[in-house]
Structure 1
Amino acid sequence: MIAAGWEFANRLLGRGDATIAVPPLDGALKPNQMLEQATPLFECAAPEDLATDGARLFLADGPRLLAIQGGAATEVRVFEQPISALACMPGSGLAVALGGREVRIYANLADPAPRATFATGFSAVNALSPTREGMLFSTDGSTTRGVHEWASDLMELGRTGRVYRLDPADGTAKVMANGLHYVFGACAFGEGALVSESWRHRLIFIGRDGATRIVLPHLPVYPSRISPAAAGGYWLTAFVARTLLIEFVLREPAFRERMMAEIDPQYWIAPRLSSGASFKEPLQGGHIKTMGMLKPWAPPRSYGLIIRLDPQGLPLYSLHSRVDGSNHGVVAAVEFGDDLIVIAKGPGRVLALSLASLEKEFGA
């Protein structure tokens, strides 16, 4: 009863979950052009995720598993479904999520059959990450939408995300938390996992007992995959950005229902991994060309962002591809050798940034 009263008051006054305010990109999130200045390694049709064990670097490109070496990619294996997530396991093992509905763990990539398979109850597995005990964290973004239907889940205010802990030794899959607002990324953090809860724009900690706490709230973006940094801390990707217009649409159920029923999904008032390719795209308020130029500070329909976090999960600095850039839809970033390797899914690019240059630029 009390909760219902607070919800009514928030809707009446436009505060709490009812506010359409978006935090500014400022402080550690101050915009720059670092992702636009990154070195392009190559382009591919459907880059999705990266995984490394320090000695090898793998890339998921649709159903193809590629090994990256010396700025070139070599096909290692082709699966019968698109790869939706990757993770390197201890030893020479590799975990692969296929179509968002199945997770296979291979002891060796040459093995024809997986060491363990998890295929019960998954709908949108979008990230995998090994635990310190040799198990695997898995984020299942939604139980009602597939792995590539994230925009629909956002427009439906989805809150069916789940975090699993998979045990290859006995084949068990334990739900650590459910009822989350689209989870997209996890990484070992203390005695549990650091998890991206995308539609609530925050990072949360989930303990082994399922207890949760907020680590980083009120982000101006929708966070996604997380990977560890060798110097301590983490790299957090953000696959799309928030805007006032989209926040307003999310609070108008009648409009959203008609939009989803009558309009082609690529033209919804919703975030995208890339934008600017069609005149049919909805106007985004200030996201209009002025004197033939799209201003970098215009409201973004698509954006590129990576946030460097400290060991406590707090931002140190960030790397941007702004509205007038093209390296948008950043879904994965991992350290490999002397570089940070990045997937900009919007243009289908794999990028590299020198870790030494980032240290020099930001002093962290």
Structure 2
Amino acid sequence: MSGLSQLLDRFLGRGEWAVTVPTLDGPLLPNQGLEEAEPFAGLAEADNLVRTEKGILASSANRLMRFSADGHAETLQEFPGEITALAHARGMTAMAIDGKGVVVHGGLHDGREATGEEARRLSCITALTFLDSNTLLVANGSASVPASGWRRDLMQKSVSGSVWRLDLKNGRLELVRDGLAWPAGIATTGSNRIYVSEAWRHRVLAIDLATTATLPVLEHLPAYPARIAPAFNAGYWLTFYSVRNQLVEFILREETYRTRMLAEVPEAYWMAPSLGSWRDYREPMQGSQLKQMNVLKPYAVTRSYGLVVLCDQNMKPLSSFHSRADGKVHGTLSACELGDDLLVASRGGSRIVRVASAASGKRG
């Protein structure tokens, strides 16, 4: 019966075969919160914001940066590969280096590395978080592409992502959950329950570490969720790669066209989500993206977008901050609080912005 149901869904364009996209409404109603935020620092490929006792850590490709509260920057270290994830707790900073595995600096497990066989199994680390002083949780986006290949993983409709538990005392890896469609963010809750954002299925999952029982807690999102950061009052900040697009949804269901596009078109010009737009006249464009009388329509479809959502402790959205189709603060993959303010890293816009008073209860 399930086979017949899937055949009917495909013929009628419903269920997994629907090309409709949820609207940005309610707590996700578009605004200019990110676009109007004050600049904090310019940083090429800004990503992985993490607050520490000595300042804010951020990554810029293979460089580890530290920022003071006033935006002054210093380069701490350069690595042989791109920094794909950062986490900090209890004086320890964990870093994922593309192709090199995980390394811990400072604290109880200073110098601990996940290399060799572990590094080969963790070839696409997208997010890290400490469960406790001896345990690191690792989100591995894909088994077939590196972290930089997120667009290819989406357009290939891959479901080879996984979540792992790394014992920092002995370096042992334990699989928590596999078969995920690009797990891009991970957060703890103070119990055995963790939250994982599953980008290509547009949802956030709750996973029980003791039983591996998995339950969707936030579904049918109009965008591709990325990292999850702790917020005030036991809530969370959920960041996003970009919003979904009806044309992309259609292409994902057109196997012949999609296969040819991946094989014949340079990746920069795929009709696929992007971290930034308006850089090259060869980029794909839809009619609503064209300016009329020098005005871009508010309903314009876009490949890149900036979006950060404040959720409560149960991952229910409360408010959001946006950079719309004609904005520059796109590709918002990471955020963290700094006092009463929220810092947001825009990888597509190569900058970090400060949303004033967002962490003290301001609503977008």
Pair in the same fold by TM > 0.5: yes
Cα shift at 1:191: 1.8
Please name the residue that 1:123 is paired with: 123
Cα shift at 1:361: 4.2
1:346 alignment partner, SS class:
coil
Contact 1:54 1:337 in 2 (8 A): no
Superposed CA offset, 1:238-271 (max 9, x none): 1111011110000001001111111111111101
Cα shift at 1:210: 1.4
1:23 alignment partner, SS class:
coil
Please name the residue that 2:200 is paired with: 199
Instruction: Give the Cα–Cα distance (whole angstroms) in 2 for the partners of residues 244 and 161 of structure 1.
Output: 24
Instruction: Give the Cα–Cα distance (whole angstroms) in 1 for the partners of residues 362 and 147 of structure 2.
Output: 38
Contact 2:276 2:348 in 1 (8 A): yes
Instruction: Give the Cα–Cα distance (whole angstroms) in 2 for the partners of residues 175 and 192 of structure 1.
Output: 15
Contact 2:270 2:284 in 1 (8 A): yes
Please name the residue that 2:106 is paired with: 107
Instruction: Give the Cα–Cα distance (whole angstroms) in 1 for the partners of residues 238 and 325 of structure 2.
Output: 19
Q: Structure 1 length normalisation: TM-score? A: 0.94
Read off the aligned partner of 2:297 and give its amino acid letter. K
Cα shift at 1:3: 2.7
Q: Where do residues 27-66 of structure 1 align in structure 2 (5 Å cutoff)?
A: 27-53=26-52, 55-66=54-65
Instruction: Give the Cα–Cα distance (whole angstroms) in 2 for the partners of residues 275 and 78 of structure 1.
Output: 28
Please name the residue that 2:135 is paired with: 135
2:234 alignment partner, SS class:
coil
Instruction: Give the Cα–Cα distance (whole angstroms) in 2 for the partners of residues 101 and 177 of structure 1.
Output: 22
Cα shift at 1:120: 3.6
Cα shift at 1:356: 5.3
Q: Which 4+ stretches in 1 moved above 6 angstroms? A: none
Please name the residue that 1:262 is paired with: 264
Read off the aligned partner of 2:3 and give its amino acid letter. A
Contact 2:228 2:239 in 1 (8 A): yes
User: In the alignment, does 2:2 pair up with 1:7?
Assistant: no
Superposed CA offset, 1:65-96 (max 9, x none): 11110211111122222111100031x21100
- Flag structure 2 segments of 5+ consecutive residues without an equivalent: none
Read off the aligned partner of 1:286 and give its amino acid letter. S
Superposed CA offset, 1:155-187 (max 9, x none): 100110101111212211111111111110000
Change in CA separation of 1:224 and 1:132 when aligned onto 2, cut-off 3 Å: same
Q: Structure 2 length normalisation: TM-score? A: 0.94
Greater RCO structure (CA 8 Å; 6+ sep): 2
Please name the residue that 1:93 is paired with: 92
Q: Where do residues 241-320 of structure 1 align in structure 2 (5 Å cutoff)?
A: 241-320=243-322
Please name the residue that 2:225 is paired with: 223
Contact 1:84 1:100 in 2 (8 A): no
Cα shift at 1:338: 2.4
Superposed CA offset, 1:266-314 (max 9, x none): 1111011000121111122422222222223201110000010001111
Which of 323, 327, 330 is equivalent to 1:328? 330
Read off the aligned partner of 1:165 and give its amino acid letter. R
Contact 1:204 1:215 in 2 (8 A): yes
Cα shift at 1:134: 4.2
Instruction: Give the Cα–Cα distance (whole angstroms) in 2 for the partners of residues 133 and 297 of structure 1.
Output: 47
Read off the aligned partner of 1:237 and give its amino acid letter. T
Read off the aligned partner of 1:313 and give its amino acid letter. M
Instruction: Give the Cα–Cα distance (whole angstroms) in 2 for the partners of residues 8 and 290 of structure 1.
Output: 42
* Aligned residue pair count: 358
Cα shift at 1:108: 5.2
Instruction: Give the Cα–Cα distance (whole angstroms) in 2 for the partners of residues 170 and 354 of structure 1.
Output: 43
- Flag structure 1 segments of 5+ consecutive residues without an equivalent: none
Instruction: Give the Cα–Cα distance (whole angstroms) in 1 for the partners of residues 243 and 175 of structure 2.
Output: 29
Cα shift at 1:121: 0.8
User: In the alignment, does 2:229 pair up with 1:238?
Assistant: no
Change in CA separation of 1:27 and 1:160 when aligned onto 2, cut-off 3 Å: same
Please name the residue that 2:166 is paired with: 166
Read off the aligned partner of 2:320 and give its amino acid letter. S
